[in-house]
Structure 1
Amino acid sequence: MLIQISAGQGSPKECEMACYLFYKELLTEFPDLEVVSTNFSDKQCLKSAVFYSEQDLSFLEGSVQWICQSPFRPNHKRKNWFIDVSILQDKFRFDKDDDIRYEAFRSSGKGGQNVNKVSTAIRAIHIPTGISVVSMDQRSQIQNKKIAYLRLMKKIDEKNSSINKVIQYENWNKHNQLKRGSPIRIYKGLNFEREK
């Protein structure tokens, strides 16, 4: 499971500091967390971080509130700062070699009697996705099977790539979905003491 903490897009320094303090809190609370990536803007200011965990931490998803007078702007009226905790989708991969069905049929075009009488063309179908390709380039069924396999692998790679681009965009877009209000956790003060 991938977990992202984020101060949000264009957030003030206070939110980035809250993100850094929550980052330290998570590493203390869940020592098995593996840090995948971090995006520091300053020494104690974190824009975002991604963790990996074997255990289910979906109960952390939502917003985290930090109630504190701004350490950067002492006369600032605002005292409530929010960060986001999101569960990210992992990269997706279709298993290529499993569940491929091959069908032989008579090809068309040049080839004379061999084309008319022998089933040399091959259709390769990846059963989980329904992707299929055809090869009737060669006069040999074995050669056509190799060509069909290579074409099918290329199409599956393209499908994996397009799905992963969507997942990557959705994960990046979570930075924009910071909700202020109804926090799952509340912390107070510069000591980052948990209230809720």
Structure 2
Amino acid sequence: MTEIILHLSSGSGPAECRWVVARIARAFIREARGSDVECEPLEVPDDDPASLLLRVSGSGAESFVQQRTGTILWTGQSPFRPTHKRKNWFVGVAPVGLADETDEIRDADIDYQAMRASGPGGQHVNKTDSAVRATHRPTGLVAVSQEQRSQHANRKVARLKLVLLLAERREAAAGDARRDAWDRNQGLERGNPVRTYAGPDFRLKR
């Protein structure tokens, strides 16, 4: 069965873009229902995550991902600044591979610790010690995965999160002299969205 991991990112956008990331994820999950695609988060999302990982699987996964890869536009009033004139908010979507990050972080530099899952998540959070905390010793970065049903799967997702965290840290350290990583590497084109959603219910316009 085809399985693809989607990375949704607010890039260097403001709080509104982080708010949009969580709601675009919900829109994708909603759109997958009743089709030959299963779409689920790899973590319990906050209300305004800077980035989010979704797992897309099923016979139609490749087509589903292809139609959503690129820049996503939400048109609506800022939930935080009601008088703000801006109405267009952008996030980026791109597939990432669990096996494509070996050059970024070495396993020898990561400490994995099994732990009991905690926090919200309902039936999707494991009640056994299958959750994993991954610590990258050279940088001190820590990532936790608890949504997967096995420790092995959580270990892979935690490692992927470390890769993404390291990339974000490198870009933050580079400062204004360099463009944001998403703009450069993932093709976030603000003037050319692949999908547009509108209104508080995040309904697809095109």
TM superposition score normalised by structure 2: 0.51
Shift of 1:69: 1.7
Percent of aligned positions with the same letter in both sequences? 26
In the other structure, the counterpart of 1:192 is 202
- Residue matched to 1:68: 76
The answer to whether the 8 Å contact 1:63/1:84 transfers is: yes
Within 5 Å, which residues of 2 pair with 1:1-196? Answer: 1-9=4-12, 11-31=13-33, 32-37=38-43, 40=46, 44-54=47-57, 55-56=61-62, 57-92=65-100, 168=163, 172=167, 176-177=182-183, 178-196=188-206
Offset at residue 15 of structure 1 (A) = 0.8
Shift of 1:93: 9.8
- Give the drift of 1:84: 0.5
Deviation per CA, 1:165-189, whole angstroms, max 9, x where unpaired? 9xx4699469632331210111111
Cα 1:71/1:61, change in 2 over 3 Å = same
**In 1, distance between residues paired with 2:191 and 2:166?**
21
Is the alpha carbon distance of 1:93 and 1:4 closer, same or farther for their aligned partners in structure 2, counting shifts above 3 Å?
closer
Shift of 1:90: 2.5
Do the aligned partners of residues 25 and 46 (structure 1) sit closer, same or farther apart at CA in structure 2, a change above 3 Å counting? same
In structure 2, do the counterparts of structure 1 residues 38 and 82 end up closer, same or farther at CA, with 3 Å as the change threshold? farther
Contact persistence 1:67–1:79 (CA under 8 A): yes
Runs of 4+ aligned residues of structure 1 deviating over 3 Å after TM superposition are 168-175
Q: Where do 5+ consecutive residues of structure 2 fail to align?
A: 103-158, 169-179
Q: Which residue of 2 aligns with 1:98?
A: none
> Does the CA-based 8 Å contact 2:78-2:87 persist in structure 1?
yes
- Kindly name which structure, 1 or 2, has the bigger radius of gyration based on alpha carbons: 1
Tell me if the contact between 1:89 and 1:171 (Cα under 8 Å) persists in the aligned partners.
no
Do the aligned partners of 2:18 and 2:49 also contact (CA within 8 Å) in 1? yes
Count how many residue pairs are aligned between Structure 1 and Structure 2.
122
In structure 2, C-alpha distance between the alignment counterparts of 1:79 and 1:92, rounded to whole Å? 36
Runs of 5+ in structure 1 lacking a partner? 95-163
- How has the CA–CA distance of structure 1 residues 90 and 194 changed in structure 2, closer, same or farther, with 3 Å as cutoff? same
